[in-house]
Chain A
Amino acid sequence: MSRQAAHPLDAHRGPLRTRVGAAFPGTRAVFRGHDLHRDLADASWLDLYVFGLLGRRLERPQLELLSSMWATTSYPDTRLWNNRVAALAASTRSSGTLGLSAALAVSEASIYGRQIDLRAMDFLQRALRASSQADSDQARDEKLLECIRSELAQRRKIAGFGRPINGHDERIAPLRARAQALGLHDGPFCRLVQHIERLLLAHRYRLRMNYAALTASLCADMGLDVRQYYLCSFPAFLAGMLPCYLEALEKPAHAVMPQRVEDVQYTGVAPRSWPSD
């Protein structure tokens, strides 16, 4: 007989205990409490993806807006850092899945992509909480300005506002138009994000809303929390990556942004000798 006490992990040994689903080969598959091929037979891939994430199904216009959100930011530009990974994989004749999955992993960046998604929605949620405590328009603006100042003091930037290279974000207008066409443009977070932009410009911060703030507000209005939004955005850039991979395959090996020896600038120490033994 073992004298060891019961271990917290012991409860998780043996059969997998799950509520999210299982495959029963030859008979059926269960997906979050529903028979995948019977109860969810009408679900599109995106519908199922969101259901897997939220445990509830979104309305068709909401799914269409999600799809538009990702289409709007799918740029087949091989220079983009994440896309470049997919293309470089093709240039070395690596597999498509390896290249594309690495490119998506790289999209979890701190100055664009998934980390910005997290911070943008978090900021908007804090801003909405703060402004909802105000009892007048003036008090609300003061609360929002406090949030803005605090964020800038802490991080020197506000995720979702401002954009390097060019302050105008070309994705805003078409995505707003799509949201309006679908009747999803006027939720509390969408109104908030526009109000914050007006406040920023009125107080000379020169920070316009960018794509991340708009998509965070649209998703927050769909009821997604920060982590749900972060996970939901996982495939956001994927459509733009495939053409980059494919075009690189059509080129000779190593022909994606090739570098001559002289193209690399060396900024380190001067040549030196390893100390003799």
Chain B
Amino acid sequence: MSAQLSTRIWQETASADSAYQAEVARCHGYDVYGELLGRITWPQMLLLMLTGELPTATQAALASDLMVALANPGPRHPAVHAAMAGAVGGSPAAACLQAALAVGAGRAGGAREVFEAVTAWRACKGDFTALPTMLETTQNEALDIWPRHASWPGFGPYDATTPLPVRQAIAQLARHVPDGALSYLDRHETALRSLAGEGLNFCGVSAAASFDLGLDAAQAEMLHLLLTLPGAAAHALEQRTTHYKAFPYGGVELGDDPDAVVPSREAA
């Protein structure tokens, strides 16, 4: 076991006043507070941390647009719903985001779906016509902590059409990389959804954008988790300001009630 923590990302220089204070902090060689702050944007900083390199203007613009596109999956998304369910009962802010992360991590509409879709894009080795085959084969390892999901990663579930916001996001993001994965989706959306039997979703957008940014599957998974949190945070905060009775609880039909001849019902 190593006796020392090591990193190739962050370099600190100790202050003369305290061995526990940094005087200079460098990210992949760049002085964060003396040079980067005030000159670079949040997307540039994020890409620098993830990839170790200065993003091009195109990459930074694509990342910025991706951040807007993923910022809020909306209150119907299970991850945001989870954050709201945390907030309505007065759970800590971190518990609400922890809930959003756990629910937004999965294979169906979550970060693991992005991981699998990026794995498929990278397996194409530049020949995007192989994408359907790769999507079919890279999903759903038989033995895994992630439960199985029937859809191709980046598609579905359920609807045969691609929602307008997803098509709008693909069209806008694809402008940054005319020969990339997003552009391929933009041009072949009809054919791909026909093969998949389901339309594209935002995980598909996230995966293609991450691929175009040069990220690997693990980086893309982490980025997706990060970028979908703002909506969860905003909706959680909103929920705190409303009475818990305004948050739907719903009725129940209990199919295995020990005290009922017919299934018991409780009104919503």
**Is chain B a partner of chain A in the same complex?**
yes
Q: How far apart are B100's CB and chain A's nearest CB, in angstroms?
A: 14
- A95–B92 touching, CB < 8 Å: yes
Residues of B within 8 A of A176 (CB): none
A108 touches B (CB below 8 Å):
yes
Stretch at the interface among B4-12, B116-124, B202-210: B4-12
> A156 interface residue, CB < 8 Å from B?
no
Complex Cα distance A105/B145, Å? 12
- B92 A98 Cβ-Cβ under 8 A: yes
Q: A264-B5, A266-B7, A274-B54 are in contact. Are A98 and B29 (CB under 8 A)?
A: no
A34 touches B31 (CB 8 A): no
- Cβ contact within 8 Å between A16 and B250: yes
Q: Which of A57-65, A115-123, A138-146, A241-249 participates in binding chain B?
A: A115-123
Give how many A residues have a beta carbon under 8 Å from the other chain's beta carbons: 55
Interchain CB contact under 8 A, B29 and A270: yes
What is the CA–CA distance of A274 and B60 in the complex, to the nearest angstrom? Answer: 15
Which B92-150 residues sit within 8 Å CB-CB of chain A? 92, 94-95, 98, 102, 143-145
C-alpha spacing A22/B144, complex, angstroms: 30
* A260 interfacial contact with B, CB 8 Å: yes
Assembly CA distance A95 to B93 (angstroms): 11
A274→B6 contact, CB < 8 A:
no
Interface set of B (CB-CB < 8 Å, partner A): 1, 4-15, 19-22, 26, 28-31, 35-36, 39-40, 52, 54, 92, 94-95, 98, 102, 143-145, 158-159, 250-259, 265-266, 268
Closest to B265 in A: A15
Contact assessment for A274 and B143 in the assembled complex, using a CB-CB cutoff below 8 Å: no
Q: Which residues of B sit under 8 angstroms from A265, Cβ to Cβ?
A: 4-7
Whether A118 and B143, one on each chain, are in contact in the complex, defined by CB atoms closer than 8 angstroms, is yes
Contact B256 A260 (CB under 8 A): no
Query: B35 contacts which of A18, A28, A115, A274 (Cβ < 8 Å)?
Result: A274
CB <8 Å contact, B251 and A14? yes
Residues of B within 8 A of A105 (CB): 102
The proximity string for A residues 143-162 relative to B, scoring 1 for CB distances below 8 Å and 0 otherwise, is 00000000000000000000
A7 within 8 A of B: yes
Report if A39 contacts B (CB, 8 A): yes
Within 8 A of B (CB), among A237-277: 258-275, 277
Given A94-B94, A102-B98, A275-B54, verify A268-B254 contact (CB < 8 Å): no
Across the two chains, which residue of chain A brings its CB closest to B91?
A: A97
* Nearest-Cβ distance from residue A97 to partner chain B, whole angstroms: 7
Q: What are the residues of chain A within 8 A of B19 when measuring CB–CB?
A: 260-262
Known: A22-B252, A230-B145, A261-B12. 6 other contacts (CB 8 A): A20-B256, A33-B256, A39-B258, A264-B7, A268-B7, A269-B8
Closest B residue to A20 by beta carbon equals B256
CB-defined contacts of B98 to chain A, threshold 8 Å:
98, 101-102
A173 CB–B CB distance under 8 Å: no
Q: Are A258 and B258 in contact (CB under 8 A)?
A: no
User: How far is it, in angstroms, between the C-alpha of A20 and the C-alpha of B251 when the chains are bound?
Assistant: 15
A116 to chain B, nearest CB (A): 11
Assembled-state Cα–Cα distance A28/B12 (Å): 59
Q: Which residues of A contact B20 (CB under 8 A)?
A: 258-261
The answer for the CA separation of A261 and B229 in the assembled complex, in Å, is: 31
Most buried by A among B10, B54, B259: B259
Q: Is the CB of B29 within 8 A of A18?
A: no
Complex: A32 Cα to B11 Cα, angstroms: 55
Q: A16-B253, A21-B254, A261-B12 are in contact. Are A268 and B94 (CB under 8 A)?
A: no
Are B36 and A32 within 8 A (Cβ)? Answer: no
**Is the Cβ of A16 less than 8 Å from the Cβ of B251?**
yes
Q: Is the beta-carbon distance between A16 and B252 smaller than 8 angstroms?
A: yes
Residue among B22, B30, B102, B256 making CB contact with A32, cutoff 8 Å: B256
**Least Cβ–Cβ distance between B23 and chain A, in angstroms:** 8
Chain B residues with CB under 8 A of A19: 254-256
Q: How far is the CA of A30 from the CA of B260 in the complex (A)?
A: 11
Flag if A15 contacts B95 (CB, 8 Å): no
Contact A271 B31 (CB under 8 A): yes
- Give Cα A260–Cα B19 distance, bound, in whole angstroms: 5
Chain A residues whose C-beta falls within 8 Å of the C-beta of B258 in the assembled complex = 30, 33-35, 39
The minimal Cβ–Cβ distance linking B218 to chain A, given in whole angstroms, is 12
User: Is A9's beta carbon under 8 Å from chain B?
Assistant: yes
Q: Which of A17, A20, A33, A271 meets B29, CB within 8 Å?
A: A271
Q: How far is the CB of B257 from chain A (nearest CB, A)?
A: 6
CB of A264 within 8 A of CB of B266, answer: no
A218, CB-defined interface residue at 8 Å = no
Q: List 6 A-B contacts (CB under 8 A).
A: A17-B255, A30-B254, A102-B98, A268-B10, A271-B26, A273-B35
CB-defined contacts of A15 to chain B, threshold 8 Å:
250-253, 265-266, 268
Bound-complex Cα distance A98 to B35 (A): 36
Q: Which of A34, A263, A266 contacts B10 (CB 8 A)?
A: A266
Q: How far is the CB of B1 from chain A (nearest CB, A)?
A: 8
In the complex the two chains form, what is the Cα distance from A35 to B257 in whole Å? 8
